[in-house]
Amino acid sequence: MPWGLLALALLSLLPGSLPAGSTTPPRTGRVAVSSYSLVQRAPFNRPDFYPLDRRPDQALYRPHADWIGRLILPEPAEAAASAEDWVWLQVEQAPAAAAHLVGRRLPLAWSDQPRLRALVGLLTTDIHLGAEARSLAAQGNVVPWRLNGRSRVGPLQSLAGARPEDDLSVRLEGVELAAAAGLRAPQPALGEGPVLRIPTPPVQITGRWMARVRLVKALQGREGAGGDLFVVRHYDPRSHSYRGPQETVRIPSQPPNRDGRRFFETTGLLDHPIGAEGWTVYGAPAADGLFTVQALLPQALVQLSPDGQLLGTAAGLGQIARGNWNAAANRRGSFRRTALEPDGMARPWAIGDHALLIHAFGGIGGPGGEPTPGFTVTGHFSFGEAEVIADPFGGEPRFDLRYHQIYANNPDGIVAGSQEWSAWSGDLQRGWLGLRPISDVLVRQDPELLAALRLQAEVMMARYRSGDGRGVAAVTATTSCVQDSAQALWTTVELLRQGLLSGPSPSASHAGGESLKRAIEAVLVPFGIVRPDWHGNAELIATALRAADRAGPGSGVGGVVGSGVGAPGSAAAPAAGPVARPPVGPIVGPLVRPFQRGQSPLDALLSLHSILPRRGHDAFAALFLQRGAPLWILRTNQIPGASPRYEPLAPTLLLGRLPLVGELQRRLADGLLAPLDARQVGLCLLGFALYAAVALALGLGSGFLEPHHPWPRPRRLVSAAAALLPMPALGEELVFRGALLPHPGEGMPWPQLLAWSALGIGLFVLYHPLAGRLWYRRAERVFHDPRFLLQTALLGVAATVLYEVSGSLWPAVLLHAVTVLVWLERLGGRQHLAVGPAG
Please give, one letter per residue, the 3-state secondary structure of 620-672: HHHHHHHCCCCEEEEEEECCCCCCCCCEEECCCCCCCCCHHHHHHHHHHHHHH
CA dist., res. 675 & res. 527, Å (int): 9
Helix (H, G, I), strand (E, B) or coil at 249: strand
Q: Give the residue-averaged pLDDT of 63-73.
A: 99
Contact (Cβ atoms closer than 8 angstroms) between residue 322 and residue 92: no
Residues pairing with 330 in the sheet: none
208-222 residue pLDDT tens: 999 999 999 999 754
**Spatial contact of 263 and 38, defined as CB atoms under 8 Å apart:** no
pLDDT > 60? residue 18? no
Distance CA 270, CA 390 (A): 26
- Region 417-436: mean pLDDT is 98
Tell me the one-letter amino acid at 606: L
CA distance 378 to 616: 11
Q: What is the mean pLDDT of the chain?
A: 88
User: Rounded to two decimals, what is the model's pTM?
Assistant: 0.89
**Among 19, 16, 15, which Cα is nearest to 148's?**
19
Q: Which residues of 501-532 are buried (b: 16+ CB within 10 A; e: fewer)?
A: bbbbeeeebbbbbeebbebbbbbbbbeeebbe
| CA 789 – CA 661 distance, rounded (Å) | 31
Segment 688-712 mean pLDDT: 95
Residue with the bigger pLDDT between 561 and 138: it is: 138
Three-state SS for 506?
A: coil
First CA to last CA distance, the chain: 62
Condensed to tens digits (0 to 9), the pLDDT of residues 279-331 reads 999 999 999 999 999 999 999 999 999 999 999 999 999 999 999 999 999 99
Distance CA 255, CA 635 (A): 26
Q: How many CB atoms lie within 10 A of CB 437?
A: 29
Residue 186, pLDDT above cutoff 80: no
User: Would you say 653 and 669 are in contact if contact means Cβ atoms under 8 Å apart?
Assistant: yes
pLDDT digits (tens, 9 = 90+) for 360-380: 999 999 999 999 999 999 999
> Would you say 501 and 584 are in contact if contact means Cβ atoms under 8 Å apart?
no
pLDDT of 486 strictly over 60 = yes
How far is Cα 201 from Cα 173, in angstroms, rounded to an integer? 8
Q: In degrees rounded to 5, what are phi and psi of residue 266?
A: -85, -10
